[in-house]
């Protein structure tokens, strides 16, 4: 036996490159095949897909030269494997089992309260409609209050020279007197007539022939409840032109004449279309008072007198 050579299958044969030398070949050294003896850590090892854990230390330590690799033992059945890494332990994280919060405005989140908005809009429209209706109901035409009076609908009040109970049923408040002109005291050549149609007095009878100085009618009215301010309403007709007369209360002529303007806008000369109303503010005493309408110097008295009535207060 050659010194230093202990034969085949001795440590000398552990040289993985022995087959390259003559003495190695003489001793029967063969090239390795598939990672044989002497190539325990061959880089050509094949691993199953998913076996290597990236980012984790290798589960199999490199074997010492000439030693078989150390293989980690499998844990007991039902016990966690020390080499197992849960998905959430990877750098990229794993699937979360918590419920994701619903973002505002996304998915099936609750939208705007359209029902509440609709109710609010309907309420606004209803309020506007009610306001318009109230405004229209209260929008009476404003009476012309030019000097001496203007149109008045009060002259067509019930024709009575004596007070009567209030139509409202309030016995403590009596209606103020009203009278047809034909029942007045006629003076200065005035006379009754009915040839002009449209008078509201009973039978269509009115006081005419008033268009001259001295013509007058007098109303001795009783039943005034208290001293104070009152309004005298007069229904009259003019032939399509303005007129006026003197108003005297309890013997005192009023500073302002009774305005008998052509408020009906009748064509000139047309008495029938000239029927209209006027009023004058006066002061009366409690009890009986004398009211006189006359044509004095400076008055334009071309008019027919139809009815007179009183109401409390001034216009």
pLDDT at 172: 42
Of the candidates 277, 225, 218, 222, the one whose C-alpha atom is nearest the C-alpha of residue 248 is 218
d(CA 274, CA 199): 10
Please give the distance of CA 256 from its chain centroid, rounded to a whole number. Answer: 51
263-280 residue pLDDT tens: 999 999 999 999 999 999
271 forms beta bridges with none
Distance between CA atoms of 315 and 118, rounded to whole angstroms?
Answer: 47
pLDDT at 228: 97
pLDDT for residue 62: 47
Q: Which residues of the chain have pLDDT under 50?
A: 1-3, 36-44, 57-63, 92-98, 100-107, 109, 140-147, 153-172
Tokens 């009203």 label which residue? 178
pTM above 0.75, yes or no: no
pLDDT at residue 5, rounded to an integer: 52
Q: Among candidates 268, 253, 257, which has minimal Cα distance to 301?
A: 257
pLDDT (0 to 100) of residue 186: 97
Output the pLDDT for position 131. 82
Widest distance between CA atoms in the chain: 186
Residue 311: closest CA among 145, 138, 158: 158
């Amino acid at each position: 036996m050659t010194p230093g050579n202990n034969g085949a299958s001795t440590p000398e044969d552990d040289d993985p490159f022995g087959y390259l030398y003559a003495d190695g070949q003489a001793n029967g050294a063969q090239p390795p095949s598939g990672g044989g003896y002497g190539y325990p850590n061959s880089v050509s090892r094949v691993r199953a897909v998913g076996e290597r854990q990236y980012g984790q230390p290798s589960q199999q330590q490199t074997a010492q030269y000439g030693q078989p690799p150390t293989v980690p033992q499998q844990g007991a059945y039902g016990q966690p494997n020390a080499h197992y890494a849960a998905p959430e332990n990877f750098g990229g994280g794993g699937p979360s089992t918590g419920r994701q919060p619903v973002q505002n405005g996304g998915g099936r989140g609750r939208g705007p309260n359209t029902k509440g908005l609709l109710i609010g809009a309907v309420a606004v429209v209803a309020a506007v409609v009610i306001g318009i209706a109230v405004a229209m109901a209260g929008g009476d035409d404003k009476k012309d209050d030019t000097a001496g009076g203007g149109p008045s609908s009060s002259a067509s009040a019930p024709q009575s020279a004596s007070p009567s109970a209030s139509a409202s049923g309030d016995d403590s408040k009596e209606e103020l007197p009203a009278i047809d002109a034909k029942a007045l005291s006629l003076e200065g050549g005035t006379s009754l007539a009915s040839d002009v149609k449209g008078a509201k007095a009973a039978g269509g009878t009115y006081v005419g022939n008033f268009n001259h100085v001295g013509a007058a009618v007098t109303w001795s009215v009783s039943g005034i409840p208290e001293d104070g301010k009152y309004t005298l309403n007069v229904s009259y007709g003019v032939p399509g032109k303005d007129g006026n007369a003197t108003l005297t209360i309890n013997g005192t002529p009023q500073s302002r004449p009774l305005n008998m303007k052509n408020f009906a806008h009748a064509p000139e000369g047309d008495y029938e279309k000239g029927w209209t109303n006027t009023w004058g503010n006066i002061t009366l005493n409690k009890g009986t008072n004398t009211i006189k309408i006359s044509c004095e110097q400076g008055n334009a008295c071309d008019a027919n007198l139809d009815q007179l009535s009183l109401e409390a207060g001034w216009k």
